[in-house]
Amino acid sequence: PSPLPFPADTTAPTITSAKLTNKTFAIEMKIKALTVAKSKPKKGTKISFTLSEAGSVKLAFQSRTAGRTSGSKCVKETSKNKSAKKCTIVKTVKTAKSTGLVGSNSLTFGGRIGSTTLKTGDFQVVITATDAAGNASATKTLKFTVAKP
């Protein structure tokens, strides 16, 4: 008799306990783009989350700006649409990848992703984990504000 194959991994990882140490922070130029957290930053923030299984973690940093609805779209406010319903325009600024371990993970974020420095304003980071079998988790979104130094 031939050995039975292992069943395929169809369980997606889960992200829990996602949080930021500082929801409002100033840019810290000394913190590299994304590094494994060793101590609490004086500027910047710490992104922490718990994973149910190891895998790659994608962090999509997105800007959030006020807008107005025009049909089914959210567009920049103009004098013509300023009485329309308010909405939020979300645009991806940059994405980063990291390796996630089973259990708690934390990354120090100083406001820079590679060579891109976030401007003052409102942002969010959307976290997605993908395991070795390619199963993607549900996303977790954390909102934050970059303040003037």
Q: In percent, how much of the chain has pLDDT > 90?
A: 77
CB within 8 A of 117, min separation 6: which ones?
27, 29, 111
CA dist 16 → 66, 92, 124, 141 (Å):
29, 23, 17, 11
pLDDT digits (tens, 9 = 90+) for 104-121: 999 999 999 989 999 999
Cβ pair 133, 6 in contact under 8 A: no
Average pLDDT of the chain? 90
- The answer on pLDDT for 39 being more than 60 is no
pTM of the predicted protein model: 0.84
pLDDT in tens, 48-70: 999 999 999 999 999 999 999 99
In this prediction, residue 41 carries a pLDDT of: 40
Distance CA 147, CA 149 (A): 6
pLDDT value of position 94: 96
